[in-house]
Structure 1
Amino acid sequence: MATIFPFPHTSSAAPATDENRLSAWRLTRFSAIAVPVAAAGLPLGVYLPPVYAQDHGLSLTTIGLIFLVGRLWDALLDPFMGVLSDRTRSRFGRRKPWIAAGGLLFAGSAWFLFFPPVQVSAAYLAIVLFFFYLGWTAVQIPFLAWSGEVSGRYHERTRVATFQTVVTASALLLTLILPTLADQLRPGDGGLKLALMGGLVAVTILPALVLTLTAFKEPPAPASIAPREPLGRVVRAVLGDRLLLRVLGSDFAVTLGQNIRAALIVFYVTFYMGRPEWAAGLFLFQFVFGVLAGPIWLKIGYRLGKHRTAVAGELVQVAINLGLVLVAPDNMTLLLGLTLAQGLAQGSGNLMLRAIVADVADKHRLETGNDRAGLYYSVFSLAGKSATAVAIGIALPLVAWLGFDPKTSNSPEALQGLALVFALGPAIAHALSAWLIAGFPLDETRHAEIRRELDAREATLVPAE
């Protein structure tokens, strides 16, 4: 049985106070790596494909195939990286070496991705994306696992996730502003947009790595490594954890709803509302208020607990998306109001569910003696990525089946079908997310008991020399 390691703070059973909370400054430093990661992720699916098609002559079919293979590669990497970081032993820690090495690989490949030469081949894009996703995963999965280890406290884990959410939302807001500025300088210049966003990644990646890696010390790893298990047994252990499956299902539904909305918002605003000039601005408007969402839901989480707050956030999302059914093409005011509310509710479910994963990993470690936090977070990440792909695979064919075609004039029935999918698709997905996580048994009281048992077991174990 693996030795249980303590968290570097006071007992998790004690209530959090101003004296023993993690400092806001250190949590902000720790979250810094989210800036370049978010700045690179947004243009990857929105701005980069058109630039490579229009400015570098690659066909949309070729680009689409390369990105599809790249996303599959990215998804396959997640569980392997989770297991590798769980099993790593070094004097620098388990997570830090992967984040440092992955960050450098991410930085180098992002440079070639955002600042390509004049002549670009399909092989160039495929190779750069191969290393880009490898570096991204090597940063993301160990960082998520480390986030759950920074504190063993129930509510402090929510604070850690909240700071990451706020930093990510701020980075996305800044990234969305850059192409807006580019349109003012040189309208329609996709290369300039890509260069500005790539410049943000290049300028922030190294300082962000330093800030994140020096924010906290990693807690000591288990003194011994559990024997290497067959892949099938590990998969069965993960899939056999019913609490984890509920969290994964709930997050899949959250992300599905968010990405159905994201996939259709430009079409909805441009064609149904008839306001193409608002297509990008509405997304930016949502993110302005999205920066405020994290602290709001953190306060609610203190009162209700994580799973109840996740349910509340998802039901708010259901109400907002059902409200979109009432939006007529001439009622921009109502749409703006619902978009503001969407921003304030943004990411509430994701935030709480991410913090819950660490609690579920604690329960698994108590029951089995195996520390699989990295693996658990990798599967959590994989669920979100799968939902992103499924959302596009559902939303676009569905609106096309209902008669919508952005290349031609559309009938009122086709536009109404687009509006209904835009409203009801996310509403159904968020309702499913709330249902899956409702009544979740691992609350603050139960988690405190688990942490006490883990701490007691730690006290009886002698670390290996």
Structure 2
Amino acid sequence: MSSAAFSARNGFAYGLMGLPLAFVALPLYVLLPHHYATTLGVPLAVLGQILLGARLFDGLIDPLLGRWGDALFARSTRAVLGVAAMAAVLMALGFWGLFFPATRQHVLLWAAALLVLTYTAYSTLGVLHQSWAALLGGDEAQRSRLVGWREGLGLVGVVVASVAPTLLGLPTTVLLLALCLALGWLAWTRAVGPQPQRQAVHRAALWQPFANPAFRRLLAVFLLNGIASAVPATLVLFFVQDRLQAAEALQPLFLATYFACAALSIPLWLRLVPRWGLARTWLVGMGVAVAAFVCASLLGAGDSVAFLTVCAASGMALGTDLALPGALLAGIVQRSDRQTAGLYFGWWNFATKLNLALAAGLALPLLAWLGYTPGAQDAGALHALTAIYCLLPCVLKLAAAGALYLLIIRSKDSL
């Protein structure tokens, strides 16, 4: 593959689709539970189970989408982009329907159905977009640079999606998503594409990636680390509202600081990759995250300025979570059967969704069981919120760091 595939121009053209895709990643998990609980009165425990069920259902079809993606890449990039256009339309419609339900009498059924639609469209786009970059090949630095463009622009989308509902209102946010999807698709059509992949005579088994020990090790680390990151993302607005008792107007500032620092940190982390390698750089990011959430556990009412610092530090750590694991996976795909790149990313996306689903499906009911409800101010409820928001992620991050060191960094056949 020519160097043009890894140029800044092509990185932007390819990566721009990451911006609208980000609307349905973390922002939806941050905004939707708070919106349904406070505006529509949906109980946290019920909402958590709906998010868990919809995400698991959607995740189960990711490997099928991945295998379908492999068949599309075997035909042509034009076929890939055609399916991507249809998925983008469905994603925009589903996002609109989630925040503007047609019925409040059956709002839970409506939410479940629209979550499945939105996530399926999102998954189709995501698998095709990730596979596109992996099939371009490249060394560690080139792969991390291309993934960095995708995730960096994705973080711009996260910031926009986090602050737009407050600053512009939900109707304008939906229109903005539709516009960004259109622009992202148009830019993608002008990006350097991979060569058509020769399609195997027999379709690959759905579980074929798990025969690769390098993939199994990386996926185990990714799962542990992903749950650790998803728990605070799901609970941040509750922590800000009840533990910090911060003004509602500050919520967009906290979210923007978190995601903006993640985006700005990606180029800095990528500069360390040639020196330290992808895995060791990721390990340092995990350490930064643990330090940030330990500090967050010490905060109380009125500590808004200190929490901005926590948001900045944890955002920097998020930069490694977004840019580096995907580059590690692209390396595995490059050294394995490139004809099954979609299958690898299908299972990878399933793991991503499982992380978010477990965070919402376990953390929200656990908080309810411990006596916390939105708006609670008694000491027991606030201690429970602090423990689940701050300390549980630290335990999971440390477990992920240990797994990263033992399974990948010290492994004889390093990724």
TM-score, reference length from structure 2: 0.86
Say whether 1:134 aligns with 2:120: yes
Alpha-carbon deviations, 1:313-336, whole Å to 9, x = none? 111112222222333545444332
Between the aligned partners of 2:414 and 2:33, the Cα distance in structure 1 is: 48
Which amino acid is 2:171 matched to? A
Aligned residues of 1:95 and 1:146 also touching (Cα < 8 A): no
User: Does 2:232 align with 1:261?
Assistant: yes
Question: Equivalent residue for 1:321?
Answer: 293
Amino acid paired to 2:343: L
Q: Post-superposition shift, 1:409? A: 3.8
How far off its partner does 1:243 sit? 1.6
2:166 aligned with 1:198: no
- Shift in Å, 1:270: 2.3
* Number of corresponding residues: 410
Residues 30, 234 of structure 2: 8 Å contact kept: no
Q: What does residue range 237-252 of structure 1 map to in structure 2 within 5 Å? A: 237-252=208-223
Amino acid of the residue matched to residue 259 of structure 1?
A
Shift in CA distance, 120/60, structure 1 to aligned 2, threshold 3 Å: farther
Alpha-carbon contact 1:161-1:354 (below 8 Å) kept: yes
CA contact (8 A) 1:403 1:410 kept: no
Match of 1:9 among 2, 6, 28: 2
Q: Which residue of 2 aligns with 1:463?
A: none
- Asked whether the equivalents of residues 56 and 118 of structure 1 are also in contact (C-alpha less than 8 Å), the reply is no
Q: 1:297 aligns to what?
A: 269
The counterpart of 1:377, out of the listed 345, 351, 358, is 345
Match of 1:453 in 2: none
1:421-445, Cα deviation, whole Å (9 max, x unpaired): 32211111221222222252699x9
| CA shift in 2, pair 1:103/1:330, >3 Å | closer
- 2: CA distance, partners of 1:349 / 1:197: 26
Higher helix share: 2
Structure 2 counterpart of 1:144, from 130, 154, 158: 130
Aligned 8 A contact 2:76 2:196 in 1? no
Q: Is the counterpart of residue 437 in structure 1 residue 408 in structure 2?
A: no
Percent same amino acid among aligned pairs?
Answer: 25
Equivalent AA in structure 2 for residue 248 of structure 1 = L
Match of 1:96 in 2: 81
8 Å Cα contact 2:197/2:339 also seen in 1: no
**Which residue of structure 2 aligns with residue 416 of structure 1?**
383
Deviation at residue 384 of structure 1 after TM alignment: 1.2
Using the alignment, how far apart are the partners of 2:120 and 2:185 within structure 1? 16
Shift of 1:53: 8.5
1:161 pairs with 147, 150, 166, which one?
147
- Higher alpha-carbon deviation: 269-278 or 347-356: 269-278
Q: Of the candidates 222, 225, 245, which is equivalent to residue 200 of structure 2? A: 225
**How far, CA to CA, are the matches of 1:361 and 1:205 in structure 2?**
27
Q: 2:54 aligns with which of 70, 73, 76?
A: 70
Q: Is the 8 A contact 1:93 1:221 kept in 2?
A: no
Match of 1:308 in 2: 280
What one-letter code is carried by the residue in structure 1 that aligns with 2:183? Answer: P
Gap runs ≥5 in structure 2: none
Deviation track 1:130-186 (CA, whole Å, cap 9, x = no partner) reads: 44333222211111111212232221110011111110111111222222224xxxx
The AA in structure 1 aligned to 2:187 is L
Q: Which has the higher contact order (CA 8 A, sep 6+)?
A: 2
**RMSD (CA atoms):** 3.3
In the TM superposition, residue 306 of structure 1 has moved relative to its aligned partner by 0.6
Aligned position for 1:105: 90
Structure-2 separation of matches of 1:415 and 1:404 = 7
CA distance in 1, matches of 2:100, 2:238: 29
CA distance in 2, matches of 1:398, 1:118: 29
Identify if the C-alpha distance between structure 1 residues 50 and 195 changes in structure 2 by more than 3 Å, giving closer, same or farther. farther
Distance in structure 1 (CA, Å) of the matches to 2:335 and 2:409: 12
Distance 1:181 1:202 in 2: 18
Where does residue 79 of structure 1 map in the other structure?
63
| SS of the residue 1:82 aligns to | helix
